[in-house]
């Protein structure tokens, strides 16, 4: 049996923002991805031009700060390009608009306070790599193996109320020190809670916890 693994195709990404610094920053972060090749196109023009079949990107990054009517844009993308992914780029003050956007069908969220590692993790989590092509000789009997799509675990019932509160604060972009100050507890107590959260949720670090919370929209904490 011979196995041939195809090269990972690149992801095309359109950044819908009128801020040049947003384009340049995201372009530098995404095109330097060490795992998935990405081609980024800053786009301040009309969204309708991007929805033609011959040029639809794989991912739209929608800047909530500069988009006048994000819900209309999301609806337009969903109708014309149902297989494309939509990721919001927002700030901590955009909570109400973010909730409305998720209800309209976006696939992920990037907060402007988050580090490049989280930005890459959110985009890469949307990407499903092509399955390897397997060539088999008809003379050799084989058993077909059905692979299930890996799923991140939902929020476990074992999380305490304090741990759920800390997850909400992490999702707001707060550091351990900020969380300790806000909850009037010590830094070491916050670290202890974070270790417990990682174990219970099944993630190795803070970045993966954010992806779990924002990208997959697991059961609310």
Per-residue pLDDT tens for 7-57?
Answer: 567 888 888 888 888 888 888 888 888 877 888 877 665 565 666 656 678
More confident residue, 196 or 52: 196
Indicate the domain borders of the chain: 2-126, 161-214
User: How many angstroms separate the CA atoms of 66 and 64, rounded?
Assistant: 6
Tell me which DSSP letter residue 50 carries. Answer: H
Quick one: tokens of 179? Answer: 């969380």
User: How many angstroms separate the CA atoms of 165 and 67, rounded?
Assistant: 31
Mean pLDDT of the chain: 76
The beta strands (E) that lie in 116-171 are given as: 133-135
Residues 6+ apart with CB under 8 A from 161: none
CATH number for 2-126 (one of 1.10.3720.10, 3.40.50.620, 3.40.50.2300, 3.40.50.300): it is: 3.40.50.2300
Residues 6+ apart with CB under 8 A from 190: 166, 176, 179, 180, 183
Write down the architecture of domain 161-214 according to CATH.
Orthogonal Bundle (1.10)
Nearest to 61 by CA among 113, 26, 24, 31: 26
Residue % of the chain over a pLDDT of 70: 73
For the cut 70, the answer to whether the pLDDT of residue 5 exceeds it is no
Q: For residue range 90-137, what is the model confidence (pLDDT) as tens digits?
A: 887 777 788 888 888 888 888 888 888 888 888 887 765 444 444 444
User: In this predicted structure, which of 75-84, 110-119, 163-172, 204-213 has the lowest mean pLDDT?
Assistant: 204-213
For residue 95, the surrounding DSSP H or E stretch is helix 95-104
**φ, ψ for residue 101, nearest 5 deg:** -65, -40
pLDDT confidence of residue 46: 58
Q: How crowded is residue 71: how many other Cβ atoms within 10 Å of its Cβ? A: 14
125: Cα within 13 Å, side-chain hemisphere: 26
């Amino acid at each position: 049996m011979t196995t041939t693994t195809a090269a990972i195709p690149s992801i095309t990404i359109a950044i819908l923002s009128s801020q040049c610094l947003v384009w340049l920053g995201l372009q530098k972060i995404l095109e330097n991805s060490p795992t998935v090749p990405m081609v980024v196109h800053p786009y301040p023009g009309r969204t309708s031009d991007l929805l033609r079949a011959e040029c639809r990107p794989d991912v739209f990054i929608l800047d909530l700060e500069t988009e006048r009517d994000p819900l209309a844009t999301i609806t337009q993308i969903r109708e014309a390009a149902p297989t494309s992914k939509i990721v919001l780029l927002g700030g901590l003050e955009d909570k109400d608009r973010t909730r409305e956007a998720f209800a309209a069908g976006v696939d992920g969220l990037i907060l402007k306070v988050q580090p490049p590692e989280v930005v890459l993790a959110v985009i890469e989590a949307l990407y499903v790599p092509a399955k390897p092509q397997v060539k088999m000789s008809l003379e050799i009997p084989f058993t077909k193996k059905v692979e299930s799509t890996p799923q991140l675990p939902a929020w476990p019932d074992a999380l305490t109320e304090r741990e759920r509160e800390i997850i909400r604060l992490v999702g707001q972009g707060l550091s351990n020190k900020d969380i300790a100050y806000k909850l009037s507890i010590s830094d070491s107590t916050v670290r202890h809670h974070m270790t417990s959260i990682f174990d219970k949720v099944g993630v190795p670090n803070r970045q993966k916890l954010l992806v779990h919370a924002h990208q997959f929209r697991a059961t609310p904490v």
